[in-house]
Every structure is written in C-alpha cells, then in structure tokens.
A = this chain, B = another copy of it.
Amino acid sequence: MKTWEQLIKGTLDGNVRSLARFISKVENRDMGWQDAMTQIYPYCGKTKVIGITGAPGAGKSTLTNAVTALLQKMNKSVGIIAVDPSSPFSGGAVLGDRLRMCDVGTLPGVYIRSMATRGMLGGLCQGARDVARILDAFGKDIVLIETVGVGQDEIEVVKTADMVLVVCVPGQGDGIQAIKAGVMEIADIYVVNKADRQGADEVVMDIQGMLELSEKKVPVLKTVASSHKGIQALVDEILLRMNQQTSNDQFRKEQIREELLSLTQQMVFQYIYEQWQNTGFLTQAIQDVLDNKTDPYTLVNHYFEQIKKQEAIKNG
C-alpha cells in the first residue's frame, strides 16, 4: 500500500500508476483524501476541461478519439474521463464505445478513466471535478469529459467543464431532439458529426435557427469523425475559444460556487449519516415511521429544529 505522500509525489512526477491509484483513493473517499487534494491544488490550474455530450449514436467516442489524436500530434497531452451511466449495473462500459476508445488509449500521453454515474461517494459532478484536477496536477494540457448519453446527470457533469461541445447527427431528428433535451443552453460549440450523411445541412440550419433566439454566439461545425474530416477546424475553434475564455472571473466564480456547495452537501450528509448509523437513531426512526408513531416530515423537522436551536451550523 502506497501512502498518500508517495502517490502525490508519483502523480506530480508523471507516474501513471500513481495517478490511477490516487484517483481511485479519492473516488473512494479514503481517509485523508481532502488533504491530498489540497496538497496537489497548487499544481493545478493549467488544464482546460472540455465536456463532450450528445445523444447516443452521435459518434461522440469517435469524435473524442479524432480530437485526441490531433491534439496529440500538436504535442498536447490529453486526459479523457468517460462518464458511463451503465457501469454500476452491468459492471462495465458499453462495449462498442470503449473498444473504439482503445486506439487512442494506447497513444503516449493519453490517459483514459471511466467513471460510473452511480455509486460515486462524492457525487458524479464532484467526482469529475476531482479527477480533472488530479489530471491537471499530473500535467495534462487538456481533459475531455465524454458522456455516453445526454441525460440530466450527464448534462450536469459536462457543465463542470470549461467548455462544452454538443454533438448532433443527421437523421432521426437528432438535432432537434438534443435541443429539446435542453443541451442548447450549455453548448459552446455545436458539432454536426457524420456530416457526409444526408440531411447534415438541415441539422446545421435547424441549430442555427434555434441559436438566433439566443444571445450567445455558438459556432456550428461539421465533422466526419470516422475519417477525421473537419477535426482540424474543430480543434482550431476549441483552442481559439480556450484563449478567449481565460480570466473570465464570473465564470470561474460560478464554478467555485457550485463546487463549494456540492462538497458541503456531500460532507454534511455523510456526517449525519454516520452519526445516525452509530447511534442507532436511524434504525429507531425507521421503526417509528413503520409503526406509525410519527411520519418522515415530523421526524426530520424535529431533528432539524434541534440543530437550529443549538445554533450549530454557524457561518463558517
């Protein structure tokens, strides 16, 4: 068993095995994880995090691969966080996606980490933040967070990124579908992938039509990720926007705010939960509700009023 100290040193030195162990221990919320994150924090801040989302079948993995391969050629090191909602149940990722991902996984300088949407002790968003930060300290220039689908959880995760790519494809009304599902507001760049298919221009026009209602200027780019078409233009756009985005304090403040609230919520809950477990309060409370001696609302309210009376939760 490596100590935190060893893992931190290894991670900062660019050791991939230390990195993997470090991430696992933080994900598991092993004792001392916060202190470890604090120790690597000064080494963070250089990485740009890019979220990639879109409906299943839009070719997000292929696009992620193509973008990664090009960045790699440009001497940028890349980390990939693959957010996979099916993992906790099926015990693994959707096979096709991950298989395809292997071709970049073997490239030097590319590190891939899968992350399940369930069973994350700190919640998925904070998990993604933590892993991206560790990859930052490890020295990655760019971290791509790729989601399998476009569910609410996945939207929340990509929102933790500095920039969001929304991927659409022609056919099956996917373009419109993605917009309906509410990803419009979060897109910094729209990508119409599989643009060699019929209807690609219609999808571009649909998106542009929707965007006219918005104040935000969002480019719509066409790619054929499988044959690397349009990838250079996409990467150029990404890098251009990255530079523009620097020192946007308002955006950073929003990010910090979300993180503080998410960390606090998790810690408070975990503490209460442990207390309840240790004291037997929870078992008794469940029994009381079952026996109709009380109801959940009264019980929780009563518990909570006591906390307030003790003026416990002070302002820091």
Contacts and interface: CB of A to CB of B under 8 A. Distances in A.
Interface string A267-287: 111011101101111100111
A114 interface: no
Interface in A278-299: 278-282, 285-287, 289-290, 295-299
Contact of A34 (B89, B181, B290, B298): B298
A106 interface: no
Contact of A307 (B249, B265, B278, B312): B312
B297 A37 contact: yes
Interface residues of A, number: 73
A308 interface: yes
Chain copies in the assembled complex: 2
Interface in A76-130: 85-86, 88-90, 94, 117-118
A260 B252 CA distance: 35
Contacts of A154: 151
Contacts of A313: 268, 271-272, 275, 307, 312
B260 A300 contact: yes
A256 B151 contact: no
A75 interface: no
A296 B125 CA distance: 14
Contacts of A182: 85-86, 88-90, 118
A184 interface: yes
Nearest to A179: B90
A242 to B, nearest CB: 19
A153 interface: yes
A242 B297 CA distance: 26
B256 A296 contact: yes
Interface in A27-47: 34-35, 37-38, 41
Given A180-B86, A185-B89, A290-B252, A296 B153 contact: no
A85 B308 CA distance: 34
A301 B31 CA distance: 13
8 contacts: A34-B297, A256-B290, A261-B269, A267-B301, A271-B304, A275-B313, A275-B315, A285-B316
Given A263-B296, A285-B316, A306-B314, 4 more contacts: A89-B185, A260-B285, A267-B301, A276-B316
Interface of A: 34-35, 37-38, 41, 85-86, 88-90, 94, 117-118, 149, 151-154, 179-185, 249, 252-253, 256-257, 259-261, 263-265, 267-269, 271-273, 275-276, 278-282, 285-287, 289-290, 295-304, 306-308, 310, 312-316
Among all A-B residue pairs, the 5 with the closest Cβ atoms: A312-B312, A89-B182, A151-B151, A279-B315, A41-B295
